[in-house]
Amino acid sequence: MLAVERFHHAYTPEQLVAANISFDVKAGEIVSIVGPSGCGKTTLLKSLAGLIKPTGGTIRFQGKVVQGVPDGLAIVFQEYGRSLLPWTTVNGNIELPLRYQSITPDECRRRVAESLQAVDLSGFGERYPWQLSGGMQQRVAIARALAYQPKLLLMDEPFASVDAQTRADLEDLVAAVRDQFEITIVLVTHDIDESVYLSDRVIVLSRPPSTVLAQVDIDISRPRDQIKTRAMQQFVEKRSEIAQMIRRPSGSETHP
Amino acid sequence: MSDLSGAADPRAGFGQARSFAGPYLLSLAATAFRVVLGIFIFFLILELVTRLELVPPIYLPRASTVVRRMVELLQDPKFLSHVVATLYAWGVGLVLATLISVPIGILIGTSELAYKMTSPLIEFMRPIPSVALIPLGILLWGQGFSMKIILVAYAATWPILFNTLYGVHDIDPIAVQTARCFGLKQAAIVRRISLPSAVPFIFTGIRISAAIALIVVIGAELLASADSGIGSYILFVSSNGGQMDSVLAGAAIAGIIGALINSALGLIDRRLFGWRYLGATLS
Amino acid sequence: MSTEGIGIDRRYARAFSAIQSFAVRYGLGIALVIVWEYAARKAGSIFFPPPSEILHRAATLWLSGPPQRLFLSDSVFQDVIPSLLRLMGGWALAVLIGVPLGILIGRSRNLSDLVNPALQFLRAIPGPALIPIFIILLGTESTMRVTLIAFGSVWPILLNTIEGTRTVDPVQLDTVQAFRIPRHAQLWRIVLPAALPKIFAGMRVSLALAVILMVVSELVASTNGIGYRIQNAQIMFLLTDMWCGIVLLALIGYTLNWLFLKFEGRVLGWHRGARGRAATS
């Protein structure tokens, strides 16, 4: 689905943020990218989306090199308040990208209703974003991405600006969405617990100039539960493993 | 697109970009270069258009002719005395307006009742165009400095008063509540919280008033056939026919003066109150 | 206590608070008018006629016509209506030119930086200083006045539109790019609505400026209009007539501003809501 080869990026010739990042993502996976602040996670995600052109390296999406925004992916930003358009309703926000796809108005309406149902917001279609709570707004953003029916869903610290209870609900929503819609999800987060809870695999980045420190497989069984899974021995081990890597002062070789 | 380097700050004032990161002098030079380039291209376009002579050149002379005349005028002591006269009336009127509006604004703003009582009145008085009072001004005070100064002061009072009121009255309630928790009495709250946070608003009011004051003073000079000032100069050369280059030069110099005043005040605003704009977009 | 008694108390309380809020809002204005009336009668200065006289004269001037025409007299059709038409025409022209041009310029960072010095210069030229130029180039008819009003009042709209277009939230721009929304739709559905609050702010300032320019343009070499009437009254020493004109201008300015705010409220309802939300969160 996604192949990143030797991605590197520098804001200015002096500021090299990512030195050499390579990884693959298979169809249907949930992959998290974690790392210390400033290691270029967001830049990487935006490059995956084709919004930024990296200084070097190749990104392939479904076999084709990414140049500009490719078809078939959607992105959910951290700042839901700024990503949703305040001058139109929830329905309007969700159907906006669909207007420019070649689908019939009926299909459009169906998709909007379906995605709202998937995020448990049926009935809120005619509200305005600012009338909803933070968690609900982020769910609208997710619904908008789902209605677009992407093959790949990119999420940039999607739950960082949301309170803890809502975060738990949204995490479970993401897992359910992957199962229901069979999409691939790449999630950037600074929350290690979240990454372990949600993903099939966690990619750990080093400090800038960043490289891939490790790719940690999370083979905890699904479905996962907020309370039970987080108390499991396996969970705690994986979590500490990743936390140690991030805490270490300098980057090191790939962990066996 | 989202600018990652942060050097070209999209939040900074339009056309007065200043970086909050990166080499300050370098971006200053870049801005200066862009300003000069912009002015130069503007002049080139005007020159080309005026050379096309879509309108006979006695009516619309070439841009280069006008610029030449501008340079001449700026070396002519008679014209310079006009400039001084205009700026004098402008400055005195503005200072008067500030001295009147700021104390009154503070007084009204700190009293909830007074605020409620006076704001409808101010809302009604604001839209009266001060230029409509020029005929009255002429009758009352003649065509000299007093008339100009009084009219300027009248026109400039409203934006300053309004902004002072707003600045003092609509301060962040959290700041006031915090102060109350620390035991500050009303007078101290006014002095230590309301006033300092109102100062940027007051300055914005002064900026707006400065621009309006210039329009009013030159308008008054022109319309009242005053005996001195840029407006009276423009009136004089336009009634004596065939001196379009002087008419345009006079208007252009007035424009440059206005632009310089606006820029200077804008720079001071950013210097003194730059902290207001951090993280917020300018409106 | 009977429920009827409570009801009456409540009605009194409501009436009382209604009177109270009316008094607070309009009390000062009414008091000032009364003071002016008294002082003007006492002092007897011709320069400051009492309000009652002004009102009486205004009625004679403007409301002494036949009932078929809503009692409006000739002078309304000769002066007031043409003035208002010029005003609205000039302002509308400013909007029609300023908004599209502003969006065009604002879309390009480099272009707007380049163009800015020229714009700062042009907007700083005091409107009155341009009157002689416009008269020479365009004569003394309505065309000249409308053009002058348009030329003078386009700047707040243009500059605010440029600013509004430039400061569209990058997150919004990234979002629509990520969803592969075509460029023309980006402009129409994201850039324009996002810039609309600033555009409206510019339009409001511009309206006030247009009123000023309308008056100014009629104080010089004109044959009709509100400004002309005021100046005419000044020349003929008809102080009350002059004051009538001033009061009329205040009313026009106030009403236009009020109307515009109502219009803005409808179009930008979402903005108030969103901003209110942001303020409390």
- Tell me the per-residue pLDDT of A141-172, one tens digit each, with 9 for 90 and over: 999 999 998 999 999 999 888 888 888 888 98
Q: For residue C171, give Cα distances in angstroms to A49, A55, A79, C132, C192.
A: 14, 22, 8, 48, 15
Give the neighbours of chain B: at least 3 Cβ pairs within 8 Å: A, C
For the segment B252-271, the average pLDDT, to the nearest whole number, is 91
Subunit contact A87:C179, Cβ cutoff 8 A: no
Write down the domain spans for chain C.
3-44, 67-280
Interface test with A, best of C179, C272, C277 (most A CBs within 10 A): C179
Subunit contact C177:A97, Cβ cutoff 8 A: no
C172 Cβ under 8 Å from any chain A Cβ = yes
Give the neighbours of chain C: at least 3 Cβ pairs within 8 Å: A, B
Subunit contact B235:C132, Cβ cutoff 8 A: yes
pLDDT: which is higher, A213 or C91: C91
Subunit contact B121:C121, Cβ cutoff 8 A: no
Subunit contact A11:B1, Cβ cutoff 8 A: no
The correct answer on CATH 3.40.50.1970 for the domain covering A1-72+151-256 is: no
Q: Using 50, 70 and 90 to split pLDDT, how confident is the model at C278?
A: low
Contacts with B5 from chain A: Cβ below 8 Å = 11-12, 15
Closest by alpha carbon to C57, among C244, C271, C217?
Answer: C244
Within a 13 Å sphere around the CA of C117, how many CA atoms are in the beta-carbon half? Answer: 16
Q: How far is A109 from chain B (nearest CA, A)?
A: 31
Subunit contact A51:C177, Cβ cutoff 8 A: yes
Helix or strand or coil: residue B224?
A: coil
Find out whether A141 and A84 touch, Cβ atoms under 8 Å.
Answer: yes
Interface test with B, best of A11, A43, A79 (most B CBs within 10 A): A11
Q: How far is A249 from chain C (nearest CA, A)?
A: 33
Closest by alpha carbon to B245, among B48, B50, B54, B78?
Answer: B50
Subunit contact C274:A97, Cβ cutoff 8 A: no
| Chain B residue at shortest CA distance from C256 | B127
> Which of B195-204, B248-257, C67-76, C98-107 has the lowest average pLDDT?
C67-76
For the segment A17-40, the average pLDDT, to the nearest whole number, is 86
3-state secondary structure chain C: CCHHHHHHHHHHHHHHHHHHHHHHHHHHHHHHHHHHHHHHHHHCCCCCCCHHHHHHHHHHHHCCCCHHHCCCCHHHHHHHHHHHHHHHHHHHHHHHHHHHHHHHHHHCHHHHHHHHHHHHHHHHCCHHHHHHHHHHHHCCCHHHHHHHHHHHHHHHHHHHHHHHHHCCCHHHHHHHHHCCCCHHHHHHHHHHHHHHHHHHHHHHHHHHHHHHHHHHHHCCCCCCCHHHHHHHHHHCCCHHHHHHHHHHHHHHHHHHHHHHHHHHHHHCHHHHHHHHHHHHC
Subunit contact B35:C201, Cβ cutoff 8 A: no
pLDDT digits (tens, 9 = 90+) for C205-216: 899 899 989 998
Q: Tokens for A103, please give them.
A: 């689908």
CA angle C158, B83, B133 (to 5 degrees): 65
| Chain B residue at shortest CA distance from A9 | B4
Q: Rounded distance, CA C54 to CA C242, Å? A: 9
- The answer on pLDDT for A16 being more than 50 is yes
Contacts with C274 from chain A: Cβ below 8 Å = 86, 128-130
Q: What percent of chain C has pLDDT over 90?
A: 30
Q: Rounded distance, CA A111 to CA A125, Å? A: 12
Q: Tokens for C259, please give them.
A: 């109307």
pTM: 0.83
Amino acid symbol at B39: I
Find out whether A123 and A136 touch, Cβ atoms under 8 Å.
Answer: no
Write down the domain spans for chain A.
1-72+151-256, 84-149
Find out whether A10 and A165 touch, Cβ atoms under 8 Å.
Answer: no
Nearest to A49 among C178, C189, C270 (CB): C178
Please give the ipTM for the structure prediction: 0.84
- The answer on pLDDT for B89 being more than 90 is yes
Distance of CA C168 to the CA centre of its chain: 26
Within B52-143, residue ranges assigned H as helices are: 63-74, 77-110, 112-125, 134-141
Contacts with B257 from chain C: Cβ below 8 Å = 124
Find out whether A17 and A209 touch, Cβ atoms under 8 Å.
Answer: yes
Contacts with B1 from chain A: Cβ below 8 Å = 51-52
Subunit contact B127:C256, Cβ cutoff 8 A: yes
Positive/negative CA dihedral, C5, C8, C14, C16: negative
pLDDT digits (tens, 9 = 90+) for B57-83: 778 888 888 999 999 999 999 999 999
pLDDT digits (tens, 9 = 90+) for C63-115: 887 777 777 777 788 888 889 999 999 999 999 999 999 999 998 888 888 89
- The answer on pLDDT for B257 being more than 80 is yes
For the segment C269-276, the average pLDDT, to the nearest whole number, is 76
In terms of CATH, what superfamily is C67-280?
Answer: MetI-like (1.10.3720.10)
